[in-house]
Amino acid sequence: MADKIKVIVVGAGGRMGREVVKLVLQDEELELVAAVNRSEAGTDAGKLVGLEPCGILVMDQLEKALSQTDADVMVDFTTPQYAYEHTSLAISHGVRPVMGTTGFTTEQITELDKQCQKQGIGGLIAPNFSIGAILMMKFAAQAAKYLPNLEIIEYHGDQKLDAPSGTAVKTAEMIAENRKEIRQGNPKEEETIEGSRGGYYNGFRIHSVRLPGVFAQQEVIFGDFGQTLKIRHDSYERAGYMPGVKIGIQKVMEYTGMVYGFDHFID
């Protein structure tokens, strides 16, 4: 049997972080070597997620976890505020980052790629780990070749910090690769309420809905003469992302450099 991949989970006390801890503890190919969450420091990671105690106590600092373990991979679901710092710190320790946290700039991704290349390790920044969501993005990018008039609507809970979502941004980027920029709609269009037409990207609009009770959905609407096409993906629970997280953990062991987008791992 191949050696287990040793994993640090950052943001272990968060809703996504707890699911990742469960995944790692219950998967025979993975091994939890550290969990990091300041507010849960000292708690057994197994008990934290409703499982049997595992003997791994939650730490309060990522630097400590990186220094005191021989981890292969760091999985991070924290906040955009700390995303770049955590990623760069992991790379400096030779630990491969798998980032579910969004909010990276193009310049930051380029710099992180250079850091990975220098260390000879792989990394992944994935706005979405759902295999269904990745297929939605790929189908939308394909459809844009034939139906270039479109808009994106994404829905999340009211506590999400970034708008548009990382998934919407990645979808827009993939569409832009297949579609020349055209300015849609009436050229004399005016917004009587600022922002009512949504954000502008490559000639089309992105709309972000933030409401309590919503989990995560996105639809791409295409319009043409006499017809519309809607490509939509709905997520109902966080456990649905875990198969993709495992693929990400495994794939970064094979790559060198920073990969932006889980779609690169789905043929």
CB atoms within 10 A of CB 204: 26
State yes or no: 15 annotated in a binding site. Answer: yes
Active site residue 180: no
State yes or no: 167 annotated in a binding site. Answer: yes
Q: Which residue has the tokens 């791409």?
A: 220
Amino acid identity of residue 4, one-letter, is K
State yes or no: 110 annotated in a binding site. Answer: no
State yes or no: 127 annotated in a binding site. Answer: yes
State yes or no: 104 annotated in a binding site. Answer: no
- Catalytic residue, chosen from 4, 6, 138, 160, is 160
State yes or no: 128 annotated in a binding site. Answer: yes
- Catalytic residue, chosen from 93, 156, 207, 246, is 156
Token reading at 258: 């920073």
State yes or no: 129 annotated in a binding site. Answer: yes
CA–CA separation, 114 and 118 (whole Å): 6
State yes or no: 102 annotated in a binding site. Answer: yes
Active site residue 160: yes
- List the binding residues for (S)-2,3,4,5-tetrahydrodipicolinate: 166-167
User: Which residues are designated catalytic?
Assistant: 156, 160
- List the binding residues: 11-16, 38, 100-102, 126-129, 166-167
- List the binding residues for NAD(+): 11-16, 100-102, 126-129
